[in-house]
Structure 1
Amino acid sequence: MTERLYNQDVYTKTFTGTVRSCTEVPGQEGYEVILDRTAFFPEGGGQYGDIGTIGGVRVRDTKERDGEVLHYTEGPLQEGDTVEGEIDWKVRFSRMQQHTAEHILSGLVHGRFGYQNVGFHLGDDICTMDFNGPITREEMEEIEQEANRAVYEDLPVHILYPPEEELQKMEYRSKIEIDGQVRIVWVPGYDRCACCATHVGSTGEIGQIKVIAMMNYKGGVRVTMVSGDRALLDHEKRERDMKEISAMLSAKEDELPEAVRRLMEENEDRKCQIIELQKRMNELKVQQIPEDSRY
């Protein structure tokens, strides 16, 4: 089985390993590579597998099968060679930020309402969470503020491997039944959850947690969130949009809501005027029709 270096130190960016096998993937332009040790995290826990390079060859995905970590590369590697691997740290760290933020939000929702996170997807742009109960926007705003307090407190994020006897007494969230050793991610005061994925070492590294959308979903609510670098990008985009709208409406940014309301009212007035004009036009057309042809 592959030795998983990310479980020893999640901040391992480069490493050396020996190529145990390299096989061409049928029907695809690529290869499936197994090393004796790796820092590449395979897809799991709602998080995509790492990308990067091994021996200078690009790794475009990482998955797990039968206890082995499978690296999907764009080119072949020689079995028996010792190679250097490097994960794409920018991508990995962003995912670590999002995933840890998800734990904090989900922990707060569970603690306040008792709801479970029954669906989690960490994409390349956004993170979505499905909770099995209703939450109002006002309630989610309060939870978002609490989540960011956890960020400001810069709390340590603990990774625990409790023995079975201790685990039986421990309260923790878990989406599925887990065979073998259970890995617990613990953010003191906010969440304790079974999870196999990678997380930041302290909550301060998340930077910021921002809920950007909510919708009713299967009797509960789907929450869309960004954090860390993605939150910054979201803020920058919204700021650019605000400036563009401000210029289009010739209004200061803090006056945009009122400017939009005026525009909507003017638009509604024009619609009413158009309806009246169309009505008047139809009446005039009817008047131009000879009386003996109207019926």
Structure 2
Amino acid sequence: MAFQCQRDCYMKEFVTSVVSCCPAELKQEVNGKKETLKGFNVQLQDTILFPEGGGQPDDHGLIGDVPVLRVTRQGAEAVHFVRSPLEVGQEVQVKLDWERRFDHMQQHSGQHLITALADAMCGYKTTSWELGRQRSTIELDTPCVKPSQLQALEEAVNEKIRAHVPFPIVYVERPVFVNQVRSRGLPDDHAGPIRIIDIEGIDANMCCGTHISNLSHLQVIKLLGTEKGKKNKTNLIFLAGNRVLKYAEKSYSTERSLVSLLKTGPDDHVEAVDKLQKSVKLLQKTNLSLLRDMAVLIAQSFKNDPQRGKVFNFEHKKCVSFSFCRKEGDNEFMNIIANEINTEETLVFLTVGEEKGPGLFLLAGPSGLVAQLGPRVLEMLQGKGAGKNGRFQGKANSLAQREEVQAFLQEYCKHHTSEEE
């Protein structure tokens, strides 16, 4: 059975009736989180909303004023998922999200054209394809595609677009399908005539998707390049139609921003960025060297200070405490300080990062003392970390509790202060 969306791919509105409406759930991912929506599965007498298939995503649209969130094919029927129930038997107007549909038509038809010419010109078979949200990918059965082949292929597909080659859809019986057209096989539940996408004089291929009626409707195709695929295959990345225009607009906007930032023309952007990267690397190297020197000086300043703090006892050993915070730094910076100080006799608490933002911390000292206090410090800083051999360090979600940690450590030292002091 062919749906109205397959018989007339350009129809934007359609009047039909509701056949069934049953409670259902839709599992989807939103912003990386999986969620389950409760709603209804609706079957219509016919539909202009394409159910996912043939590598093409499903359509979006409205049934009356109810948004359709998902369309799938179940056997010979199209099932529309909606959040609100619809009355069985009522007549409804279906409206298509045309911008989304036409984009899918351009990418899908573009894939058919590229696939056919890549096979005819280079002998590269298409083994799969993906219609992505921003770009589409064709998997070719070859370990590599030469730049000259890529250029020739792009010129060839755009020449066919300029030639206004018709792109009709025909229906044939199974024997004709088997003998005359290219196919990857029929679904097990298929019934009735076979739907053939025929690019006149170029390719005939079985397909259930929605397509343009003439290659000129593709406007233009841009082959962005290739990437290494799976098992000695190559992924060919392309844009078709309006996506090329949007890509050009975005690229130009980026170019103008770079002109403003780099104070150079577009032809000099690569050289300017290269110089900036080298300058940044040199500054980072210098900054790291200064931080290391500063860490040594901080540790020496503490060791040379006659008023280093009160002495407290731990396991019959006399210790003092040292606390230090700094906005800039890293784990190496803190470890250099700890290494310069005799942590067998000193409890060291260090942090780097924004005062009330995330950061890094290090608790160093006698191994038994650090093992005892480290987990509590980690809990207070709402962080993640671990410790061994007298070091407990990690990431803090918030350094806003730093003063509370210091108070906690000072209170511990107070209760273990040496009577000699």
Q: Matched residues in 2 for 1:168 and 1:24: separation?
A: 40
Quick check: 1:103 aligned with 2:112?
yes
2:207 & 2:112 partners in 1: Cα distance?
10
Answering whether residue 199 of structure 2 is matched by residue 187 of structure 1, we say: yes
After superposition, give the CA deviation of every residue in 1:205-231 in whole Å (9 maximum; x if it has no partner).
Answer: 111111224211111111221111111
Matched, 1:151 2:161: yes
Query: How far does the alpha carbon of each residue in 1:188-217 deviate from its partner, in whole angstroms, 9 at most, with x for none?
Result: 243322111000111111111112242111
Q: What corresponds to 1:240 in structure 2?
A: 253
Q: Which amino acid aligns with 2:182?
A: R
Structure 2 match to 1:224: 237
Deviation at residue 262 of structure 1 after TM alignment: 5.5
Contact 1:16-1:83 at 8 Å conserved across structures: yes
Shift of 1:164: 3.5
**Correspondence for 2:364:** none
Instruction: Specify the SS of the correspondent of 1:129.
Output: strand
The answer for unaligned runs of 5 or more in structure 2 is: 26-35, 294-421
CA distance in 2, matches of 1:186, 1:249: 50
Which residue of 144, 148, 160 maps to 2:170? 160
Could you tell me whether the CA contact under 8 Å between 2:6 and 2:209 is conserved in 1? Answer: no
After TM superposition, give the deviation of residue 72 of structure 1 in Å: 0.9
Match of 1:122 among 113, 127, 131: 131
Cα offset for 1:259?
Answer: 4.0
SS in 2 for 1:30: strand
Q: Deviations over 1:37-59 (max 9, x none)?
A: 11111100001111100021000
Shift of 1:158: 1.4
**CA shift for structure 1 position 146:** 1.1
Q: Relative to structure 2, which stretch is displaced further, 26-35 or 222-231?
A: 26-35
Q: Conserved in 2, the CA contact under 8 Å of 1:249 and 1:259?
A: yes
Instruction: Determine whether 1:9 maps to 2:8.
Output: yes
Are the equivalent residues in 2 in contact too, given 1:55–1:77 (CA < 8 A)? no
Going from structure 1 to structure 2, the CA distance change for 1:188 and 1:78 (only over 3 Å counts) comes to: same
Partner of 1:91: 100
Q: 1:212–1:225: 8 Å Cα contact kept in structure 2? A: yes
Read off the aligned partner of 1:138 and give its amino acid letter.
S
Give the secondary-structure state (helix, strand or coil) at the position aligned to 1:15.
Answer: strand
Total equivalences in the alignment: 275
Contact 1:18/1:81 (<8 A) preserved: yes
Is 2:80 aligned against 1:71? yes
User: What amino acid is aligned across from residue 74 of structure 1 in structure 2?
Assistant: R
2:216 is the counterpart of 1:207: no
Letter in 2 for 1:54: I
Local SS of the residue matching 2:85: coil
Contact 2:165 2:199 in 1 (8 A): yes
Task: Return closer, same or farther for 1:94/1:35 CA change in 2, 3 Å cut-off.
Answer: same
CA offset digits 1:118-173 (Å, max 9, x no partner)? 12111222211111112123311221121111111121101122333433441x33
8 Å contact kept, 1:52–1:88: yes
Partner amino acid for 1:158? P
How far residue 187 of structure 1 moved from its aligned partner, in angstroms, is: 1.4
SS of the counterpart of 2:251?
A: helix
1:45-100 deviations in Å (ceiling 9; x for gaps): 00111110002100011110021110111211001101111111111011001111
Q: Alignment partner for residue 50 of structure 2, among 32, 41, 45?
A: 41
- Root-mean-square deviation (Å): 2.6
**Residue aligning to 1:288:** none
